Structure 1
């Protein structure tokens, strides 16, 4: 049974997801109950589990209401269990579960928070990255270090290029305005920005995105490209140092 994935806009710019597969329905992150309940009702689905990527309130604040309504399990990263709503299962890095296209791997991606995880479905060609890898960007480094975030993004960049990236926010248009300052001559980026602007003019989401497109256009995945280091006048620098410079510029953009 192939995965059926539903993107749910929540709050002002968050996304939650429903994943319907051979093992039932999962909610990934819980920013706001009403739109998640509406999406479930529309399809006649009942969730069996809520899976949390990290502890920030805009990804967890609807857990209590959803758990009360559906009686579903709540799972989240073991490294953040003391900061999350009460968990029925704490998930360590490398944990696997599920069957068929629903087989899932927990990948530790610290940086935005120290215990942030991504959920990778290798047979379903999907990865849920929340505030680690984002469309044309990456999350702000609040708790970790730039080196930590660079290592996390490198893990995600090594996934198969056909992987679909489901990230946590509708930040893509703003990310594009920054990305073009890093690679003003990147034809793929220029084209993508036009597509993003057209989609947002129609109030359409720009998430999810293909990892192959992120590899071509996302400046935070391109710190090892000679064209990027040249533009930043950092030729010969370690890619992790280039990443830190890009992230610092974004923080001040």
Structure 2
């Protein structure tokens, strides 16, 4: 049975597009069952529609609080029986109940080399901190903001003349490589979150996650670059 993804977005949906492209190219053994957004104006919804994927939008103004909104999300998502919930630029803090409901199935990509630079404006923070390198991380989601167990990271150098915009673009290019590859591990049943930590092929992975550029040989043939559109 094909591994079913539910992708949550708030904006342009470029990581969603990377996932769709990887599936279309046969490099990701999954299907996107539904795309959910908290913003009706999210451009990523049009990417989903063009790909023939079901979409859902929920307006926070229709719910009294975050808990009620998240319960509505759970009800909508569960109709599609997702195997993995994929956060791809979903700009809301999730309630503990939502995280618990999808424990071990909820994955996020964050634009920094976690545990560095949690939260927003990570590219600016990396430049201001004088970091020699920056990048992105894919992790399982926990109640701690950007603090769940790390699965894998991808790096870029911080150049002397980098602006927030130029650094962001290079990090995004690495996101489009990293996310489909990690999701392929999930889709093929290799990647799990166990009480003893993140496991790949039944073995613990490093606490800092795998480095995309230094993968063991048996992982290096997994999906890489995704066609952009």
- For the criterion TM > 0.5, the same-fold answer is no
| TM-score normalised over the length of structure 1 | 0.32
Between 1 and 2, higher relative CO (CA 8 Å, sep ≥ 6) is seen in 2
